[in-house]
Amino acid sequence: MIRKMKWVGKMITKGTIWLRIIAVVAASIISVLYHYNKIDTAQTLEIAALTTLVLITAYYAKQTATMAKEMREQRYEAVRPGIDFKRDTAEIDTARLTLEANAALSEDTSHGLSCMLCNVGLGPAIDVRSFIEHPERGRLPFEFGTIESRGKTERWILSISHEGNRVALVACYEDIYGRTLKSSREVSIDRENHDWKLGRLKVVLVQENELP
């Protein structure tokens, strides 16, 4: 809620600045048109100079805002985390591997998948949470805490999420600036090898009301 209020405040501030600039330019033009027959050349040049100055100021203000945005994005990217999902079936015990193979043949996603969460980004992933598959209680939310860059969790049975027609592994977390990100990999069935197959990693910024 606080982040949303700050964002709205910034948008209002930017909008107010542009409205003031437009108002000054409009007032100058209206003044020239209204007093066209009453002002001399010097006054006309003064109004034209003021209008030009306002337009130049507006241009440089826009350029400065663009540069500031680019620098902010560079700072974000320099510490942006990225949670990925690692299967590594060679390390899964035989009983679990057999269970997942049979689940793939029957297209049963209720047993989840044995995975590790890995941070492949440059910054720490804070308040990492996903879902685990409890053998008796089913799909449960689970918090993994902070995962440093290049760090990983222990192996867990992660729940497979159904988002509309998309079946995927999902994890949410924050960067050091408090922005919320969601990582996901679509899950499909590898019928040839009787196993599950993960699609490409997708990382997006999300709002609180978009969290699973």
* Model confidence pLDDT, tens digit, residues 98-128: 999 899 989 899 999 999 999 999 999 999 9
Q: Are residues 65 and 138 in the same domain?
A: no
Looking at the fold, whether 105 and 203 belong to one and the same domain comes out as yes
For the chain, how far is it from start to end, CA to CA, in angstroms?
17
Q: Which of 29, 63, 78 is the last residue of a domain?
A: 78
Question: Which comes out higher in pLDDT, residue 179 or 58?
Answer: 179
On whether both 87 and 74 belong to a single domain, the answer is no
End-of-domain residue from the set 33, 54, 78 = 78
Q: How far apart are CA 176 and CA 207, in angstroms?
A: 16
Please choose, from the candidates 211, 146, 145, the residue with its C-alpha nearest in 3D space to the C-alpha of residue 172: 211
How do residues 31-84 score in pLDDT, each as one tens digit? 555 555 555 666 666 766 777 777 777 777 777 777 767 677 777 778 899 999
CB 151 within 8 A of CB 118: yes
Q: Supply the range of the domain harboring residue 190.
A: 83-210
Q: Give the residue from 78, 108, 125 where a domain finishes.
A: 78
* pLDDT given for residue 27 in this prediction: 60
60 plus 91 within the same structural domain: no
- Residues 138 and 109: their CA atoms lie apart, in Å, by 11
Q: Total structural domains in the chain? A: 2
**The model's pTM:** 0.66
Same domain, yes or no, for 94 and 166? yes
